[in-house]
Amino acid sequence: MVVGIASLFVSALVATQAIATPIKARSPYAVKEKHLKPRAWRKLDKAPRDHLINLQIAVKQSNFEQLEKHLYEVSDPAHPRYGDHLSADDVTELIKPTDDSLDQIHEWLEENGIVPTAYSTAKDWIHVTLPVETIERLLDTEYHTFEHADGGRVVRTEGWSLPRHLHAHIDTIQPTTSFFRARAASVDSFVSPIWEAQDFSINGLAEKKMNDPEIAKVCNVSSVTPECFKTLYKTKGYKTQAADKNAIGFTNYLGEHPIRSDTEQFLQKYNPEAVSSARDFKQIVIANGPGDQPLTPAETEEGTSKEANLDVQAIAGISYSTPITSYSTGGSPPFIPDINTPTNTNEPYLVWVNYLLDQKSFPQVITTSYGDDEQTVPKSYATRVCQQFAQVGARGTSLLFSSGDNGVGRYGTCVSNDGKNTTMFLPSFPAGCPYVTTVGATKNFQPEVVAYRAAFTGPDGVTRGNYTSGSGFSNYFEAPGYQKEVVSKYVSDLKGKYDGLYNKKGRGYPDISAQGLYFAYFWNGTEGVISGTSASCPLTGGILSLVNDALIASGKRPLGFLNPWLYSVGYKGLTDITEGSGVGCGVDGFPATKGWDAVTGLGTPIFPELVKLAGGKLPHQ
């Protein structure tokens, strides 16, 4: 195997160089990046010297600015090129590194006897598997084992260096300083006996008078169902017309994989016409991710696949008969010091998105219900992962991400990671990436309000944490052009409230929202309810895939990267949410207001309006 040969070769080489540190370089080493471990992590011993790491080298892309320009042109309804999405080859051509960058990096690797294991299609990522001791010399650094408060371990460093002449050619190398840890954005699942006992009038903002009898008939806040979503968001009665040319996908990480039998039970009960979706959805396995199998006893014990089940059921409940693709990406097995298997990157998004970009085509809508605090990811790396998402957008796909479940930040964790412990709100990643569409959560129906449910201890004695639709402003990415105006108006209307706790110039999120409290779902053969922006995100994806269906049937291009359209035109096809706030960090958090706000975005979907605004026709009108 390539990996084995490379590491053998390297060990031999390291032996001959044992006294020469740092290793040979044409210019002196200088620190490239420092990034302190986040508070939830504890530094343990030095990493074992023979522990293998799959190193990913991000080579500077030659022309990302051009790619971004294309992305905005083809996504802006006011531009003549609107809808003229790029091909895979167009994108590769725009971002491939210069020969000079590749030559200089290759020269450095060669001097150190290192042969790359693999490249991304555009050669903007170089992969090489090496033992810790070699990487420590190569990057003039020292790796340690770090342990998360939940017991998970990774091998990382808090800073690394490069020969000075390479600084301009390499954006980042990981895993070094990234402590990103994908978390599923689903919270508190209950099986019936528990949730039925709950008092749903808590937390104020109780359901007001239900004026619309149609909605009152099908929507029950203690268990919301596809029938409710179809009525509330007005997809009811729509029959797909372009299922052979349209698709929707969703991603799974952390060992999650959707279970067909649970999905079948769910659809049988709540959307019988779609029951074939349970058998028909495609399962793509990436990097040794979990395959298509029933839950094992161990998985049942751990509650695995609640998230994946929620995702597939929320999508299939509303988007039938649009074909569904599930992507299950393996990744970072937990680091076990005694087992010398290479740990992966702990950066599953990158593995997934690089897989996706290698494909000739992929679904026009893809949803992801995972994220982490932005400050756990170094800025250079967040930027590169975000730039990969821009490539997907340029090719005409809408990428949707959950906004998180902690309002402006998880209570008790709202401090900076710069060694100073400054009090601050905690934005999420990738929610703050400007090239994706971020989805927040609502609850109640007439009107819908911000999804918020205070912590409580259930009859089972288990305490469920606070849950609020994720809300905020990125500290890494500036507000992009499409939202600059509404964000600056929102910030100025806050009149100084929360000054110093967030980045007033940052990319604000979410962009859009939908229901996210107490979704009916099946898991392990049993019905229950589950909440989170994890629910809102696939539901919104399902509705948007129906908009694409109507567009494709009308001879139009699919929506593609949504935000430039949403902020200039599409918002008129949304219900503005104006009550509630992003409760978190021990405060009320950003309020929902008239117009865009940093907790529900522009609002919740009204399907027929969105279709009309996008230029599509509805068959029965």
Binders in 33-62 for ligand NAG, by CB under 6 A = 39
Of 309, 320, 306, 296, which Cα lies nearest the Cα of 263?
309
Of 277, 357, 370, which Cα lies nearest the Cα of 324?
277
Binders in 126-145 for ligand NAG, by CB under 6 A = none
Residue pair 248/314 in contact (Cβ under 8 Å)? The answer is no
Q: Which stretch binds ligand NAG (CB under 6 A): 171-179, 381-389, 459-467, 508-516?
A: 459-467
Instruction: Say which residues have a Cβ less than 8 Å from residue 268's Cβ, sequence separation at least 6.
Output: 275
Residue pair 352/286 in contact (Cβ under 8 Å)? The answer is yes
Among residues 220 and 578, whose Cβ is nearest to ligand NAG? 220
Among residues 27 and 463, whose Cβ is nearest to ligand NAG? 463
Judge whether 307 counts as a catalytic residue.
yes
Give the shortest CB-526-to-ligand NAG separation in angstroms.
6
Give CA–CA dist 445/208, Å, rounded.
9
Give the shortest CB-464-to-ligand NAG separation in angstroms.
8
Residue pair 218/453 in contact (Cβ under 8 Å)? The answer is no
Give the shortest CB-429-to-ligand NAG separation in angstroms.
22
148 near ligand NAG, rule: CB under 6 A: no
420 near ligand NAG, rule: CB under 6 A: yes
Among residues 385 and 585, whose Cβ is nearest to ligand NAG? 585
Judge whether 328 counts as a catalytic residue.
no
- Catalytic one among 33, 76, 136, 311? 311
Among residues 39 and 167, whose Cβ is nearest to ligand NAG? 39
Neighbour count for residue 419 (Cβ, 10 Å): 7
- Catalytic one among 534, 536, 545, 581? 534
How far out from the chain centre does Cα 224 lie? 24
Among 211, 268, 288, 421, binds ligand NAG (CB under 6 A): 421
Give the shortest CB-586-to-ligand NAG separation in angstroms.
5
Among residues 223 and 391, whose Cβ is nearest to ligand NAG? 223
Give CA–CA dist 492/503, Å, rounded.
13
488 near ligand NAG, rule: CB under 6 A: no
- Catalytic one among 33, 171, 188, 307? 307
Instruction: Say which residues have a Cβ less than 8 Å from residue 342's Cβ, sequence separation at least 6.
Output: 3, 52, 53, 54, 129
Q: Which tokens hold the place of 471?
A: 């809300």
Among 411, 504, 554, 579, binds ligand NAG (CB under 6 A): 411
Give the shortest CB-222-to-ligand NAG separation in angstroms.
4
Q: Which tokens hold the place of 383?
A: 């930027």
Contacts 24+ apart (CB under 8 A), 148-151: 148/40, 148/41, 148/42, 148/181, 149/40, 149/41, 149/42
456 near ligand NAG, rule: CB under 6 A: no
- Binding residues are 576-577, 595, 597
Give the shortest CB-198-to-ligand NAG separation in angstroms.
9
> If residue 532 lies in a helix (H) or strand (E), which one and from where to where?
none
Give the shortest CB-476-to-ligand NAG separation in angstroms.
22
Count how many Cα atoms sit within 13 Å of the Cα of residue 119 in the half-sphere of its side chain.
13
DSSP 19: T
Among residues 333 and 465, whose Cβ is nearest to ligand NAG? 465
Judge whether 311 counts as a catalytic residue.
yes
Q: Which tokens hold the place of 82?
A: 């609107």
Give the shortest CB-248-to-ligand NAG separation in angstroms.
29
525 near ligand NAG, rule: CB under 6 A: yes
Of 459, 465, 473, 477, which Cα lies nearest the Cα of 509?
473
| Beta bridge pairs of residue 480 | none
- The three-class DSSP label of residue 10 is helix
406 near ligand NAG, rule: CB under 6 A: no
Among 176, 198, 524, 534, binds ligand NAG (CB under 6 A): 524
423 near ligand NAG, rule: CB under 6 A: no
Among 455, 460, 489, 555, binds ligand NAG (CB under 6 A): 455
465 near ligand NAG, rule: CB under 6 A: yes
Q: How many residues bind ligand NAG (CB under 6 A)?
A: 16
Give the shortest CB-93-to-ligand NAG separation in angstroms.
47
Binders in 187-246 for ligand NAG, by CB under 6 A = 196, 220, 222-223
- Binding residues for Ca(2+) are 576-577, 595, 597
How far out from the chain centre does Cα 163 lie? 33
Give CA–CA dist 438/566, Å, rounded.
12
Give CA–CA dist 509/384, Å, rounded.
19
300 near ligand NAG, rule: CB under 6 A: yes
Instruction: Say which residues have a Cβ less than 8 Å from residue 95's Cβ, sequence separation at least 6.
Output: 61, 62, 63, 64, 67, 122, 124, 387, 391
Among 291, 586, 595, 619, binds ligand NAG (CB under 6 A): 586
Residue pair 604/544 in contact (Cβ under 8 Å)? The answer is no
Give CA–CA dist 191/206, Å, rounded.
23
Binders in 313-372 for ligand NAG, by CB under 6 A = none
Q: Which residues bind ligand NAG (CB under 6 A)?
A: 39, 196, 220, 222-223, 300, 411, 420-421, 455, 463, 465-466, 524-525, 586
Instruction: Give catalytic residues, as residue numbers.
Output: 307, 311, 534
